[in-house]
Amino acid sequence: MTERRQPAGLERLRADYEAAKARLAEIGFTCEGSLIERYTSCKNPNCRCQDPDQRHGPYWQLSCKHAGTTVSRVLSAEDAARYQEWIANRRRLDATLKEMNDLSRQAGEYILAGQRRPFHGPEPPAQPARTTQNPGISPRHVDIPGFCAPSRPPLRPKNHVLPGTSYSS
């Protein structure tokens, strides 16, 4: 049985697709969410942090969605480095899958055009507008929507009074 030679355009698309598949195998663990580097000021008027260039920190925070609610966790610098790698892996995974979808669409259009038939697959998704800064949050905020299962209840502010509780002196 003789092998049919594919057109050069289809061969290029197939080679690009195989390269993308190989990149998928190299991606490690992933985590969806945002890693935020925070610097804070305390209320002590004599503290060095009153100078914006000498604020306390960095404090690392992971922010993610769980059941439609944003959940934030304070991380150690060591854990933040791990999460930064996992979040970067998630970005590479998303970009590679998008590339594979684009290549598949182009190949489908190419194959069907050769048979004088239209491609009926879905239109490529529109690119959403992204905001990377939220006023008053942090100087470095990596905006990655997603999910991260919470490991403990959300943190409360220091002077938070629980409903039905009174703190009288």
**8-26 vs 77-114: helix crossing angle, rounded to 10:** 160
- Residue from 88, 90, 99 nearest 20 by CA: 99
Q: Which pLDDT score, from 0 to 100, does residue 4 have? A: 54
pTM: 0.64
Q: Give pLDDT tens digits for 141-163.
A: 444 444 444 444 444 444 444 45
Rounded to 10 degrees, what is the CA torsion of 34, 40, 43, 45?
Answer: -160
Q: Give pLDDT tens digits for 3-46.
A: 555 667 899 999 999 999 999 999 999 999 999 999 999 989 99
Q: Which residue has the tokens 């769980």?
A: 66
